[in-house]
Homo-oligomer: A and B are copies of this chain.
């Protein structure tokens, strides 16, 4: 996530949850999110570190034509490559803007040398991918649109199964029960999320994993430990 507008509080960040949900539905874990300034060196250092330690890296923001759009340069530097004009993008931009085309518009044809341009039948404007790094725009509507291209490329590794249980118990009372389930089902991720001032429940428990049967058994083991009158509801 790249952009001073997020770090200055001008704009609430909106893309993480969309990316997280797509990855989750494809069985891919989102392990880390980093939000940094529009600074070439900062971006380059971060991309080098994250791209070399993760399967995929997705950047959001900083791909427009203005002075504060430096993601392409940052990603190029991370891979020790130059920035070049993509002839394919240049042609599309010139065809789009015609006689109104400025040097500013043409800056959107810049890519790291060696980058691939990814498209689908539905999202024909190319999305830049530099090895395992996807360069996505920050504007939420376009970011979400481009996730379709990502989705077509990353494959499906089997969705996570997730169950939720809502209770009126607080986390202090739930702890012993949860510990028992966590110890018995090491491959099920058990989450506990207190809600503030909701009349319908106090704590939401989630049971997640790749094996549907095991996730179901963990949830049922938890249900069997609950006192009378619980849970409030399940999902």
Interface set of A (CB-CB < 8 Å, partner B): 1, 4-14, 16-21, 23-24, 29-37, 64-68, 97, 100-108, 139-142, 160, 170-176, 178-179, 182, 189-197, 206, 208
Contacts and interface: CB of A to CB of B under 8 A. Distances in A.
A102 B66 contact: no
Contacts of A21: 9
Please name the 9 residue pairs, one residue from A and one from B, whose CB atoms are nearest each other, closest first. A104-B175, A9-B20, A105-B172, A104-B172, A9-B21, A33-B35, A12-B17, A66-B192, A141-B196
Stoichiometry, copies per complex: 2
Identify whether the interface residues of A are mostly helix, strand, loop, or mixed. Answer: mixed
Given A16-B6, A141-B196, A104 B35 contact: no
Contacts of A33: 1, 6-7, 33-35
Contact of A17 (B13, B24, B67, B173): B13
9 contacts: A6-B17, A8-B30, A8-B160, A8-B208, A33-B34, A67-B182, A105-B172, A139-B194, A141-B197
